Structure 1
Amino acid sequence: MTQQSRLQDRLDAFKADFEAGKPPYNVPPSVIEIMHRATEELIASGQAERAKKAGDVAPQFVLSDPDGRPVSSADLLSRGPLVATFYRGVWCPYCNMELEAIQAALPDIEARGANVIAISPQTQPNSRKSTRQNSLTFPILSDTLGQVGDAFGLRFALPDYLVELYKSLKNDLPNFNADPSWTLPMPARYVIGTDGVIAYAEVNPDYTKRPDPSELLPVLDKLAARAAA
């Protein structure tokens, strides 16, 4: 198994068990059909193609870390490139596996002078829970009301039928996020250069697909070479 395929292999294995209804998930086919329908509709909407992409100037932001301290993108970029991943929440197993993979790659990322953050619409207590569960040493920032996700073009409203499914599964997003809107960001990962320009962007409306963190390293190497030139 190559490093590049490692994260997606884990995600695919989880998805296969989940969608097969294996214990402990025991999910009926009707639930899987609804989830597939929502993903297909989001893909068809073309929103991912309209999100911020490589070459765009990244929106600036100030968000709170799990302990309530403000974190500024401008301050982070004054120290080096920034890796930002948009994370749906502590309730999403695919997101948690991605965070674990980023944590595993963190020494390689930091060795290239970059900082890492995750951005989620969830509340600070849920970010603290995510940090504990995934043994993270980089911060999950709380994107209140999804405003930064919206600025990046990632925020979308769940269709009514998916809201009803989430309610039936006790997946109470208004409670997780302290936001009644039933919105989420599409999973996305960005590398932002110290000039504020996006050097790498991966946005996928299919939340079961995530790029491996190893893809970031050549991008960071290029940014370092450019800075040294």
Structure 2
Amino acid sequence: MTLQAKLDAFKADFKAGKPPYNAPAEIHPVMERATAELIASAAAGKALKVGDKAPLFTLKDPDGNLVSSADLLAKGPLVLTFYRGVWCPYCNMELQALQAFLPTLQEVGANLVAISPQIAANSRKSVRTNGLEFPILSDTHNDVAQAFGLRFALPDYLVELYKNLRNDLPTFNDDPSWTLPMPARYVIGQDGVIRYAEVNPDYTQRPEPEAMLDALRG
């Protein structure tokens, strides 16, 4: 089953309120409204694209070690995936798919890192829960996401919904701003130029890992 097929199946069960989700029906139109408004804002069109120079960054991994994009690029191409957090099932399924694809990335000499605004403890939980062999780097305040053009602020009505669902992003991220990155995946060449870019304001849609192979082999 493809990654998107798994995401679609989860979405259908979630909207149907099937156990163990049991989500109240009234939340779905609110979430769909927020996604539609983000799409209509054309924010994704302002994100970095193929051919752009990727900004350099240094972030901490879940154990507090500094990880430099320059150091990773010195070893080979770099794959970045922007990860909303451990609370997002769609993001977790994407990480699992990337983990399954990791041997292929290693065969072409690429490194893979996820970038998330969540605190280190939540990243450690993500690594354990999803069985990851690649790091989730802490992007405090979504600063790197902003450099890539991905950061956006949740509308007030979605903030209220998240609060009612006890999805407390300020606690998850140690940041009161209620901002997130749009889900995105990039391949950056050793020259620092973006070879592949997939940005989607609809968090339920994710590209297949295989979609970046041509960029990695090119």
State the TM-score, normalizing by the size of structure 2: 0.99
Shift of residue 27 of structure 1?
Answer: 1.6
SS at match of 1:29: coil
Unpaired segments of 5 or more residues in structure 2? Answer: none
Q: What are the superposed Cα offsets for residues 36-88 of structure 1, whole Å, 9 maximum, x if unpaired?
A: 00000000000001100100000110000000000000010000000000000
Q: Would you say how many aligned residue pairs link Structure 1 and Structure 2?
A: 218
Equivalent residue for 1:75, pick from 50, 71, 77: 71
The one-letter amino acid paired with 2:72 is L
The one-letter amino acid paired with 1:80 is G
Which residue number corresponds to residue 221 of structure 1? 217
Which structure 2 residues correspond to residues 52-91 of structure 1 after superposition, within 5 A? Answer: 52-91=48-87
Shift of residue 28 of structure 1?
Answer: 2.3
Which structure 2 residues correspond to residues 176-215 of structure 1 after superposition, within 5 A? Answer: 176-215=172-211
1:172 and 2:192 matched: no
1:154 and 2:150 matched: yes
Which residue number corresponds to residue 23 of structure 2? 27
Shift of residue 30 of structure 1?
Answer: 1.4
Shift of residue 29 of structure 1?
Answer: 2.3
1:17 and 2:13 matched: yes
**RMSD, matched Cα:** 0.6
Equivalent residue for 2:97, pick from 95, 98, 101: 101
Q: Structure 1: how far apart are the matches of 2:126 and 2:22?
A: 24
State the TM-score, normalizing by the size of structure 1: 0.94
Q: Structure 2: how far apart are the matches of 1:19 and 1:28?
A: 9
Which residue number corresponds to residue 131 of structure 1? 127
The one-letter amino acid paired with 1:41 is E
Unpaired segments of 5 or more residues in structure 1? Answer: 223-229
Which residue number corresponds to residue 43 of structure 1? 39
Q: Which runs of 4+ in 1 moved over 2 A?
A: none
Q: What are the superposed Cα offsets for residues 91-114 of structure 1, whole Å, 9 maximum, x if unpaired?
A: 000000000000000000110010
SS at match of 1:57: coil
Q: Structure 2: how far apart are the matches of 1:100 and 1:90?
A: 12
Q: Structure 2: how far apart are the matches of 1:94 and 1:12?
A: 10
SS at match of 1:105: helix
Q: Structure 2: how far apart are the matches of 1:185 and 1:176?
A: 14
Q: Structure 2: how far apart are the matches of 1:102 and 1:34?
A: 29
Shift of residue 216 of structure 1?
Answer: 1.6
Shift of residue 183 of structure 1?
Answer: 0.3
The one-letter amino acid paired with 1:172 is D
Shift of residue 25 of structure 1?
Answer: 1.4
